[in-house]
Amino acid sequence: MARTAVDQTKFKALIGSLLYLTASRPNIVFVVCLSVRFQSNPKKSHFKAAKRILKYLKGTTIVGLWYPSHSPIHLVDYFDCDFAGCKPDRKSTSGTSHLLGSSLISWHSKKQACVTLSTAEAEYIVVGRCFAQLLCIKQQLEDFGLKVNQVSLLCDNTSVINLTKNQIQHSRTKHIEIHSHFIRDHVSNGDCEVQFIETGRQLADIFTKPLPKDKFFFIRNELGILDSQILS
């Protein structure tokens, strides 16, 4: 039964509405982006999964991003990836979250464009993209009159940290495209530093993989997506 085809237009309309919601609901970005990949030939199982998102939304209508006042102004970035998470083509999913103090201002979840050979390589691609976004935020903050010198990018993969510091090309890394290497340049210039964070506290996980309930709620809270009733 799960393989029965469903009305494509209906499915696309549902996805379209959900995509609109992702603009202010980072907690559903990953699942919505996952459903988007099944648009051209949706089956009953896909439709069921999409409707499950609606159920979640119904239960969390009062949950939203919370920007607290008077918190310290510093930029922190989390980035992560789900190595070969997409089963059909074995591409990885990258996820980043950018926090100013404790306010989540920007996030993204995207399937990578190329197939990677190792977790380190997949994360290395994310860190480049993550930093590009960060540069944009930094310049915007300069418009506001804030100068941010060094920012920390947090990841749970020590190989990546070493890759960004080590300028030497060797057999394991020489096939990586040049555009991924631009992070090295910035690290050596001292614009940013890639630091380690344990997997349990990796806040970009929510954008890269389906999570168990406890972890999902933990990250949701940490990102400042809170219930307005608790606040007031």
Q: Which residue has the tokens 């990578």?
A: 112
If one asks whether residue 106 binds another protein (CB under 8 A), the answer comes out as yes
CB under 8 A: which stretch of 6-14, 45-53, 143-151, 184-192 binds another protein? 143-151
**Residue from the set 49, 57, 137, 148 that interacts with another protein by CB under 8 A:** 137
* Strand ranges of the sheet holding 151-155, from the earlier edge strand across to the other edge: 103-111, 93-100, 75-82, 151-155, 192-196
Q: Of 67, 182, 196, 217, which lies in the binding site for another protein, with binding defined by CB under 8 A?
A: 67
How many residues at the interface with another protein, by CB under 8 A? 33
Applying CB under 8 A, does 144 fall inside the site for another protein?
yes
- Residue at 165: amino acid letter: K
Select 115 or 136, whichever has its Cβ closest to another protein.
136
d(CA 154, CA 190): 15
Q: Identify which of residues 38 and 56 has a Cβ nearer to another protein in the complex.
A: 56
Cα–Cα distance between 29 and 45 in angstroms, integer? 19
Cβ(78)–Cβ(96) under 8 Å? yes
Q: Does 66 bind another protein (CB under 8 A)?
A: yes
Q: Give SS3 for 164.
A: helix
Scanning the structure block, which residue is given the tokens 């549902």?
Answer: 14
- The residue range among 5-13, 65-73, 123-131, 177-185 that interacts with another protein, by the rule CB under 8 A, is 65-73
Structure token pair of residue 67: 């920007």
State yes or no: residue 63 binds another protein (CB under 8 A): yes
The contact set with another protein (CB under 8 A) reads 23-24, 61-73, 100-101, 103, 105-106, 136-137, 139-146, 226, 228, 231
